[in-house]
Structure 1
Amino acid sequence: MNDWFKNYKGIILLMAGIIVGSIAGIFLGDKVSIIKPIGDIFLNLLFTAVVPLVFFAIASAIAGLDATNKLGKLLGITSLVFVGTVLVAAMVTIIAIWIFPIHQHLVANPITEAIDKKPLGDQLTNLFTTSEFYQLLSRKSMMAMIIFSVLIGFAALNAGEKGTAFTRFLHSGNEVFKNIFILIMKLGPIGLGAYFAYQVGVFGPQLFGGYARSMALYYGVGAFYFVVLFSLYAFIAGGVSAVKRYWKNNIIPSATAVGTCSSIATIPANLDAAKKMGIRDVIANVTIPLGGTLHKDGSSISSIVKMAVVFALFGKSFNNVETVVVALALTVLVSLVEGGIPNGGYIGELLFISAYGFPPEALPPAMIIGTLVDPMATLLNATGDTVAAMLISRFVDGKNWMGPEPPKELREI
């Protein structure tokens, strides 16, 4: 029980703060506007920390690559499988939102005016580049900063021994800003509580109907993806026998993911399951740890749901081609960026809010949805790594990759 509370302590405290704030908003009404600055301060701290945090996380990860992680057949196929399944998850969610447009219930009370629409060419230019170096330090240039971080990381990697000191600086910066983010998130229950007190006091408790519908959609799509799409991936990898072998050995990783609420903590269980599924060690030992930080099917689904809700709150359409294309690209980037960062889902929310040009007020609604769906998201993120490893084995080793099922004594280890 103590371990369970420790794993879910952050979620419980956030929800407690939001519930207390919401109750205060219901009873106090407009009077709660006096505490709005508390929520604003919390949001400002997050937006201030996110740029250096993402920079150091990406640059240090690339600079720290070794020879076994460099480009090759295995890594190339792994990248294609990871990106492919993340995109499938996103597209399935977009279709579900079109069929069940739960976000439309939020349009009646948009938080602010619609954001000005820009031509696609201008959007892409502003999304991926800046004309001055100092503009990279703004959260509004988040995507350009990520691209620059990748370049810095590869430059440090290619510098070899001459760049060792700079690489150490990147690693140190990554650890420091991780801890800064952890410290800021300790204020989350108070900051989000104050924000929701203000929102409920001003806009009324009907806001919760939209969140409830969003949760229902997420868990419905998540359950469908978990059962149907994972089974389909396993079938593509090795037919009916692969499907049976996957589900037979997926129980412990699933329980570990839900119990710890951590993809990283599920890696040992996934490695053990991969061996029992017949995946070669050389493939499992590369793809499973990489998947723990870079492969996020559950986060892909939640990203689309959060985008749809935020778009509705700000009176924007989520149905046009330009928006969907950018959403898919952002979903892949969110999957890459949030791995290995504490509360990484919030980084993804900051990223898409900045990329689309939403104001800071768009962050709390996305954060509450991310908090509510976190257990299912972790389950999909973690257990999707082993079925992805099965697909990778199929494309690397051929259709006979599974071989006979491991003996009973190995399955019981």
Structure 2
Amino acid sequence: MEKKKNNIWKNYKFPLILLSSIILGSIIGLVLGEKATVLKPLGDIFLNLMFTIVVPLVFLTISSAVSSMVDMKRLGKIIGNMLLVFIITGIIASIIMITTVKIFPPAQGVNIELSEAEDIEPLSTGDQIVAALTVTDFPLLISRKNMLPLIIFSIFFGICVSLLGEKTKKLGETLNILSEVFLKMVSIIMYYAPIGLGAYFAALIGDFGPELLGSYARAMIVYYPICIAYFFVAFFVYSYYAGGKDGVRIYFKNIFPVVITSLATQSSIATLPVNLETTEKMGVPKDIRDIVLPIGATAHMDGSCLSAILKISFLFGIYGKPFMGMSTYVTAIIISVLSGVVMSGVPGGGLIGEMLIVNLYGFPMEAFPIVATIGYLVDPPATMINVTGDTVAAMMVTRILEGKDWLKKKLTIRA
């Protein structure tokens, strides 16, 4: 019995420390109120460390993974199966949320005074696609605000290194070493995480706590339980598909540092370093995790698909439009998947997706602040689902490419 307790503490020590620090920070925020914002700089230091490291980390992990591939067909298979997993899980999330809002309409009984929004430029789909995939100058690549262009550049760079063969062998080895160096930096930064996240949560609760209990409570009552259920049920099914009972055990044993970091930072990008470290412990191959996770941080967002359906249903209810009919549901699913793809991996990045909802459904501009407020309130659990969904997606891609026994082989080797 004592040995079992020691094993539990060994496996979950760090998540428990993180969770305790966040609970303590939340209590401090509730007790001190706005005075708790004095602790915000301690939390900002942690976020800034993560944001600073993430751009070189993404470039090095992706380019080193791609450059070390002799067989470009494997790269194509990884990206192809990754996109297939992203789209299928996004559609599943959307269908689940449509069913939920039909049973529990989020806008029922909600009475909100509509206010005029500031002037917002109409969404230009073509321009948005160009802006999402490319930048106008190289220095703009070195920014966490342009993650998709950076990812595309990193893949292209890695392919070119690989195509040059023996000439660039040393460069490929250097990229791998630098990737390991940055991952080591992540593990060192995480020693500061309990202080940083505790302080960040104290300031967050102290500053915005009262607003979280406002007129959007019913929408939150619908959304938060669905996220919890999706995490435990859907990800149980996905991890079981990825590796059977061992897949479920490995996933839920290792995922909680990712859960806690994502809830506290509300950022897929800030959680990426922790996620890369976690998937390595799970046994996901380096080339798969180094490609799937960085791309997933900007283009795989089950939580955002869930929230997009919530926002659409909420607006339909507010404006007295019936949320029903197959064409309405199909359009909502397409919009939710699209809005999930165009989300950036930083807090507040959902504004583009919210603009997409308002424009494509023809709602007036005053609808924008309504969905923007919902977006803010659902951001923590949405980010958690987004990030932990990337982890299980990497496991599923591994199962597709390596076969259903991939995890057993890993466990056998480790034993």
Checking the alignment, whether the CA contact within 8 Å between 1:300 and 1:335 is kept in structure 2 is yes
What amino acid is aligned across from residue 232 of structure 2 in structure 1? V
Q: What does the per-residue CA deviation read over 1:245-287, in whole Å, with 9 as the maximum and x for residues that have no partner?
A: 1101112111211222221121122112212212111101111
Partner of 2:220: 215
User: 1:317: Cα distance to partner?
Assistant: 1.8
TM-score by length of 1: 0.61
Give the structure 2 partner of residue 146 of structure 1: 128
Are positions 1:84 and 2:78 aligned together? no
Structure 1 distance, partners of 2:236, 2:306, is: 18
**Does the 8 A contact of 1:246 with 1:387 survive in 2?**
yes
- Counterpart check, 1:73 vs 2:77: yes
**Which among 313, 321, 326 is matched to residue 321 of structure 1?**
326
Confirm whether residue 307 of structure 1 aligns to residue 312 of structure 2: yes
Shift of 1:167: 4.7
Query: Which of 127, 138, 147 is 1:168 aligned to?
Result: 138
CA–CA distance in 1 between the matches of 2:98 and 2:336? 12
Partner of 2:243: 238
User: For residues 169 and 366 of structure 1, what CA distance do their matches in structure 2 show?
Assistant: 33
Matches of 1:320 and 1:85, distance apart in 2: 22
User: For the Cα contact (< 8 Å) 2:268–2:345, is it kept in 1?
Assistant: no
Deviations 1:87-114 (A, max 9, x none): 11111000001112232334x88959xx
* Aligned pair partner of 1:227 in 227, 232, 235: 232
State the secondary structure of the residue aligned to 1:358. coil
* Paired residue type of 2:372: M
Aligned to 1:276: 281
Q: Is the 8 A contact 2:246 2:407 kept in 1?
A: no
1:97 aligns with 2:101: yes
- 8 Å CA contact 2:243–2:399 kept in 1: the answer is yes
Letter in 2 for 1:78: M
Q: 1:168 offset after TM fit, Å?
A: 3.3
Using structure 2 for the length normalisation, give the TM-score.
Answer: 0.61
Contact 1:142 1:351 in 2 (8 A): no
Cα 1:390/1:174, change in 2 over 3 Å: closer
Name the CA shift for 1:238/1:173 in 2 (closer, same or farther; >3 Å): closer
- Tell me if the contact between 1:330 and 1:352 (Cα under 8 Å) persists in the aligned partners: yes
Q: Structure 2 CA distance, aligned partners of 1:234 and 1:169?
A: 39
Distance 1:317 1:109, change over 3 A: farther
Measured in 1, the distance between the counterparts of 2:125 and 2:86 equals 20
Conserved? CA contact 1:139–1:354, under 8 Å = no
- Counterpart in 1 of 2:183? none
Matches within 5 A, 1:343-354: 343-354=348-359
Equivalent residue pairs, number: 291
Q: Is the 8 A contact 1:279 1:390 kept in 2?
A: yes
Amino acid at match of 1:142: S
Q: Distance in 2 between matches of 1:284 and 1:171?
A: 22
After superposition, what is the alpha-carbon deviation per residue over 1:307-362, rounded to whole angstroms, capped at 9, x for unaligned?
Answer: 11111111212212222212111111111111245511122111211121212210
Residues 1:347 and 1:230: Cα distance change in structure 2 (over 3 Å): same
CA distance in 2, matches of 1:320, 1:169: 47
Contact 1:111-1:313 within 8 A present in 2 as well: no
Whether the 8 Å CA contact 1:142–1:354 is kept in 2: the answer is: no
Out of 399, 403, 408, the position equivalent to 1:394 is 399
How many Å separate the matches in 2 of 1:149 and 1:347? 12
**Post-superposition offset of 1:243:** 0.5
Structure 2 CA distance for aligned equivalents of residues 278 and 173 of structure 1: 30
Distance 1:82 1:377 in 2: 15
Whole-Å separation in 2 of the counterparts to 1:320 and 1:273: 42
User: What amino acid maps onto 1:229 in structure 2?
Assistant: A
CA distance in 1, matches of 2:242, 2:145: 38
Check conservation: 2:305, 2:337, Cα contact below 8 A.
Answer: yes
Aligned ranges for residues 370-381 of structure 1 at < 5 Å? 370-381=375-386
Task: Choose the corresponding residue for 1:366, options 364, 367, 371.
Answer: 371
- Matched letter for residue 80 of structure 2: G
User: Aligned with 1:90: secondary structure?
Assistant: helix
The CA distance in 2 between the partners of 1:305 and 1:253, in whole Å, is 24
5 Å-filtered alignment, 1:40-55, equals none
- Identity score, percent: 37
In angstroms, what is the RMSD of aligned CA positions?
Answer: 3.8
8 Å contact from structure 1 (residues 110, 313) kept in 2: no
Q: Name structure 1 gaps, 5 residues minimum.
A: 17-60, 113-137, 157-165, 177-192, 197-206
Task: Tell me the equivalent position of 2:336.
Answer: 331
Deviation at 1:241?
1.3
User: Quick one: distance in 2 between partners of 1:353 and 1:93?
Assistant: 19
Shift of the alpha carbon at 1:365? 1.5
Quote the Cα distance in structure 1 between the aligned partners of 2:82 and 2:362: 32
Equivalent-residue separation in structure 1 for 2:142 and 2:241 (angstroms): 42
| Inter-CA distance 252–286: structure 2 relative to 1 (3 Å threshold) | same
